[in-house]
Amino acid sequence: MPAKGPVSILWQIIFTFIPILDLYAFYRIKKLRKYFLYVVIPLFVIILGITFSFVLVELQSTDFSFEDDSITSENEEFLSLIFIPIDIGFQILTIYFVYTWSKKWNEQVSNAHQF
């Protein structure tokens, strides 16, 4: 259920670090759809695209021989070097959105209670 009063911005930010609670944080301030549109869907598409292209390159370079395990460990390291900065970037974006939108939510709620 969306919040009826002001929300704690600190708790909203903490919720962004915990899976499922990040969804709840945006639901509380009625911005869940925008969160999916601006963060979740683009992150999913980027990760899926990188993974898919990486798998295609891996299959093409190994000529369907999966016997060399050193290639797989090198690829895992390379993928982590790509995914970690992307994940950090989207986490920063999530924190920015929850901070900005929670602040606006609190202003709207306080203005509504003044009248």
List, for residues 54-106, the tens digit of each pLDDT value.
777 777 666 555 555 555 667 777 778 888 999 999 999 999 999 999 999 99
- Domain ranges, residue 91: 9-114
Q: Mean pLDDT for the chain?
A: 87
The predicted pLDDT at position 53 comes to 82
Confidence of residue 107 (pLDDT cuts 50, 70, 90): very high
Specify if 1 maps to a domain: no
State the angle between helix axes of 69-114 and 41-62 in degrees (0 to 180), rounded to the nearest 10.
170
Specify if 52 maps to a domain: yes
Which tokens is 50 given? 């990188």
CA distance linking residue 22 with residue 90, whole number of Å: 12
The answer to whether residue 5 scores a pLDDT higher than 60 is yes
Quote the DSSP letter at residue 85. Answer: H
Specify if 2 maps to a domain: no
Specify if 4 maps to a domain: no
CA angle at residue 95 from 18 to 13, to 5 degrees?
55
**What domain count does the chain have?**
1
The answer to whether residue 9 scores a pLDDT higher than 60 is yes
The predicted pLDDT at position 57 comes to 73
- The tokens 């990188």 sit on which residue? 50
Amino acid at 113: H
Specify if 97 maps to a domain: yes
Instruction: Collect all residues with Cβ–Cβ distance below 8 Å to 65 and sequence separation of at least 6.
Output: none
State the pTM of this model: 0.80
Specify if 99 maps to a domain: yes
Specify if 3 maps to a domain: no
